[in-house]
Amino acid sequence: MAKFCFVIHPLSFEDVVRYEPGAKGKGKPIIAKIMEWMPSWAAAHVTGVRTPDGRETEGWFVAAGLLPTQMLELPREQVYDRILKAIAIGADLGAEVAGLGAFTGVVGDGGVTINERSPIPVTTGNSLTIAAGVRSLFRGAQEMGIDARAATAVVVGATGSIGAACVELIAPHVGHVILVARNETRLRKFFESVRERLPCDASFTTEIGAAVQRAKLVLTATSSTQDVIEPEDLRTGAVVCELSLPHDVSRRVAVERPDVLVVEGGNMRVPGDMRWWRVREPGATFDMGLPQGTALACMSETMVLALENRCEPYTLGRGIDLAKVREIDALAEQAGFSLADMRAFDLPISREQVARTRAAAEQRRAATA
């Protein structure tokens, strides 16, 4: 089987400490400045990814240590250079296909330029992220007893590559879909281009709060570095599926809205006995803030391509091929990948917690009836 590498970067100052424990105790301005000049480095060796039929791959997480705001604000060529140097490290270690994590797949043209300059083929992993996100949204609907066919769904970030594909995959299963994005001109053009293909009622708006207040099902896929959904926006008993990192949903929701189910949509259970070993400290494990045996769907896409010996630029650019979404979803399932257990705000969701959420929603409806 082929080998892979996956480019990671810290999404918060807390992530920096997880990646490099030596940063603990340093002030945020110092850490941010260090991140600007710190070279890319091999962070973790990934082992034990093994399919039920015995195929196995290994790979490396290679860090391009910029924070999200730095990815967006620094000169693009400087960011490209950091990402490409990370991929080169992975290629030198033996990787034959590379994945772009978080903002490394957002900056610029969605991986197209990176792939052109890379020594090995590159994918953003967005195709499997989309498939996992849509599955997670409807799993949440089932858990909350929502009849999706009669429900209104909102896609926040509908004009982005992930959001646009999610609109088309969600629409056949709901009663009404509302497309939300900040740029009205771009949103209107996208809506007009896709409207005839949507088999349900559809509308669009730039008003996030107003749209979310109408919906039982919400999927977020933005590249925002700020909260975009607040507790007061959400309808009683709603399900919110986040595909964005950093998170789109305010952590206030966890405290103030016990009647709402929030789920992280992009997590998958990986077949085999996957381990992440720190490269600089042999024998120590690398902490990505995920449960044992779980990976992000974008990481999982890269692993699936390696297992299939499909060393190709699978998902790139702003337009997503829905045929590829369905193909990688099927390939992942055949290789033993599946949706991970539900999580929200970086913590697991238990069966008891789901039951409490449903009960809180019923109580709130009764109180307002």
**What per-residue confidence (pLDDT) applies to 148?**
97
- The C-alpha atoms of residue 233 and residue 236 are separated, in whole angstroms, by 10
Neighbours of 310 (CB within 10 A): 16
> 12 pLDDT band (50/70/90 cuts)?
confident
Which residues is 56 bridged to in the sheet? 50
Asked which of 35-44, 187-196, 276-285, 319-328 is least confident by mean pLDDT, the reply is 35-44
Q: What is the largest CA-CA distance in the chain?
A: 64
Residue 303 pLDDT level (bands cut at 50, 70, 90): very high
Overall average pLDDT of the 8-24 stretch: 78
Q: What angle do CA 317, 200, 173 make, to 5 degrees?
A: 75
* Residue pLDDT, tens place only, 185-210: 999 999 999 999 999 999 999 999 99
How many CA atoms are closer than 13 Å to the CA of 238, on its beta-carbon side? 27
Residue 50 pLDDT > 90: yes
Q: Which domains does the chain have, with CATH numbers?
A: 4-127+268-339 (no CATH), 128-266+342-368 (3.40.50.720)
What pLDDT, on a 0 to 100 scale, did the predictor assign at position 287?
87
79-102 burial, b at 16+ Cβ within 10 Å, e below that, comes to bbebbbebbbbbbebebbbbbbbb
Cis peptide before 231 (omega within 30 of 0): no
96-106 pLDDT, tens per residue? Answer: 999 999 889 88
Tokens 């959001």 label which residue?
A: 163
For residue 294, what pLDDT band results from cuts at 50, 70 and 90? very high
Q: Shortest CA distance to 132 belongs to which of 313, 354, 340, 364?
A: 340
What is the phi/psi pair of residue 176, to 5°?
Answer: -155, 135
Alpha-helix residue ranges (DSSP H) falling in the chain: 13-19, 28-37, 68-73, 76-93, 112-117, 126-143, 161-170, 184-194, 208-212, 252-256, 297-307, 322-334, 351-368
CA distance 308 to 331: 8
Neighbours of 367 (CB within 10 A): 8
> Is residue 20 over pLDDT 80?
no
Return d(Cα 180, Cα 286) in angstroms, integer: 37
User: In terms of C-beta density within 10 A (0-12 exposed, 13-18 middle, 19 or more buried), how is residue 301 classed?
Assistant: buried
Instruction: Give the position of tokens 């001109």.
Output: 185
How far is Cα 223 from Cα 243, in angstroms, rounded to an integer? 10
The one-letter code for the residue type at 239 is: V
Residue 215 and residue 223: Cα distance in Å, rounded? 21
Helix (H), strand (E) at residue 167: helix 161-170
Average pLDDT over residues 138-151: 96
Q: Which residue has the higher pLDDT, 157 or 68?
A: 157
For 198-248, how does the pLDDT look when each residue is reduced to its tens digit (9 = 90+)?
A: 999 999 999 999 999 999 999 999 877 788 899 999 999 999 999 876 778
Q: What is the mean pLDDT of residues 258-284?
A: 94
β-pair partners for 4: 59, 97
Q: 81 in helix, strand or coil?
A: helix
Task: Give the Cα separation of 282 and 284 in Å (integer).
Answer: 6
